[in-house]
Amino acid sequence: MAAITSDLGRDQFLQLLVAQLQNQDPMEPVGQQEFIQQLSQFSMLEGIEKLNTSFESWMKIQTLTQGADLTGRMVEYVDSNGDKHQGVVDSASIKDGVLHLRIDDQDISIDAVTAVLDPSTH
């Protein structure tokens, strides 16, 4: 049986396992040890998928927390022309997995932010 890779999902693995069992040679059935190994691989794949889902949720929460921490703060950012601007962060959101800050009615990617400024100096 093929090794499990990141391209082989849970459903495909089960389909492959069922097809293997349906088409096995009755004179040489799959050995118990090989079958247990395949089930173990399936169990490991399922655990990794759950871990990835949990990690993605955790990362989203972390990203939103970072955005919330910047809300109300003065930041410096660079626009698409390379010009520097400053503004107060009104809100934060995630778009396509990237934190965006709402500053002066514009969505600014966190990648464009170059500094968080001390409010006492501005």
Q: What is the pLDDT of residues 10-65, one digit of tens each?
A: 677 778 777 777 777 666 666 666 767 777 887 888 888 889 989 988 999 999 99
**Interval 78-100 mean pLDDT:** 93
Helix (H, G, I), strand (E, B) or coil at 83: coil
Distance, in Å, from the CA atom of 48 to the CA atom of 45, rounded to the nearest integer, reads 5
Distance, in Å, from the CA atom of 49 to the CA atom of 91, rounded to the nearest integer, reads 32
φ, ψ at 93 (rounded to 5°): -150, 165
Domain ranges of the chain: 10-61, 71-121
Rounded to the nearest 5 degrees, what angle is found at the Cα of 79, between the Cα atoms of 75 and 82?
A: 110
Distance, in Å, from the CA atom of 95 to the CA atom of 72, rounded to the nearest integer, reads 20
Closest by CA position to 67, among listed 40, 45, 100: 100
What is the model's pLDDT at position 30?
62
Looking at domain 71-121, its CATH architecture is Roll (2.30)
